[in-house]
């Protein structure tokens, strides 16, 4: 009967639902994994070291009348499944109330508290810490993002593709400015004619790219 993880508990001043349990969030609250907080390091609640079990319960929520062990136990169970403990299979988990909004969750709506599987959480950390100064780093970032995106509902994947298409349209002039800079470098370094022609971006090429992305988004199961 609690529609997700809250901090502080529902009904208390300033209570807010936590939409996603990220790796950073777990690092800030290791007690949710049954781990000790690094001694001497600051906690989000202003203390140091590991909070007591009672403090952890107070930080998130009390017991749900529809289950056992309170929200801390539910988060622990969700992490057990998301991390593939005792199994070779990791699964995404959503902590939510009842079954009436399960379809909403599959359609990508913001319901409950989403606990991504371990590989997705770790990919998000790698992306956040990434160095985008090289082509190799960009390619690795794209690969990481594609794995995370593949786990999302169809509606989310379609929305991401549409957002990308709109971005290409709204940032058109900046894209052409960057392309002109690339062409200047190509000329200065003596790039072969055919490669120079392939490098040059035109309105028609950009329009075709946008149309192609939208065509993928329109598929029954894009990406």
> Three-state secondary structure along 34-80?
CCCCCCCCECCCCCECCCCHHHHHHHHCCCCCCCCCHHHHHHHHHHH
Residue 124's pLDDT is 67
Q: What is the Cα gyration radius of the chain? A: 23
pTM of the full structure: 0.49
Long-range contacts from 169-176, C-beta under 8 angstroms, 24+ separation:
169/210, 172/206, 175/201, 175/206, 176/201
Q: Is 80 helix (H, G, I), strand (E, B) or coil?
A: helix
Residue 68's pLDDT is 44
> Tell me, what DSSP letter sits at residue 20?
B
Nearest in space to 9 (alpha carbons), one of 55, 68, 76? 55
Residue 74's pLDDT is 83
Nearest in space to 24 (alpha carbons), one of 94, 128, 145? 128
Mean pLDDT of the chain: 77
Contact 27, 79 (CB under 8 A): no
More confident residue, 64 or 71: 71
- Chain segment 101-121, per-residue pLDDT in tens: 788 877 767 788 888 888 777
At 5, list the tokens. Answer: 């993880």
More confident residue, 125 or 199: 199
Confidence of residue 204 (pLDDT cuts 50, 70, 90): very high
Residue 133's pLDDT is 57
């Amino acid at each position: 009967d609690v529609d997700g993880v809250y901090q502080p508990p529902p009904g208390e001043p300033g209570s807010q639902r936590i939409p996603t349990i990220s790796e950073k969030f777990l690092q800030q609250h290791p007690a949710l994994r049954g781990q000790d907080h690094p001694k001497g390091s600051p906690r989000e609640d202003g203390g140091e070291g590991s909070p007591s079990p009672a403090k952890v319960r107070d930080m998130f929520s009390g017991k749900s009348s529809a289950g056992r062990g309170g929200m801390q136990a539910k988060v622990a169970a969700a992490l057990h499944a998301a991390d593939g403990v005792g199994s070779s299979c990791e699964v995404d988990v959503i902590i939510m109330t009842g079954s009436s909004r399960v379809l909403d969750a599959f359609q990508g709506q913001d319901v409950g508290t989403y606990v991504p599987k371990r590989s997705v959480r770790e990919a998000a950390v790698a992306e956040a810490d990434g160095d985008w100064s090289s082509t190799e780093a960009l390619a690795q970032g794209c690969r990481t993002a594609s794995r995370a995106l593949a786990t999302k509902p169809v509606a989310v994947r379609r929305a991401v593709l549409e957002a990308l298409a709109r971005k290409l349209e709204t940032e058109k002039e900046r894209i052409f400015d960057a392309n002109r800079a690339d062409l200047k470098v190509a000329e200065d370094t003596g790039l072969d004619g055919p490669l120079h022609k392939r490098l040059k971006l035109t309105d028609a090429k950009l329009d075709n790219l946008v149309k192609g992305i939208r065509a993928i988004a329109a598929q029954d199961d894009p990406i």
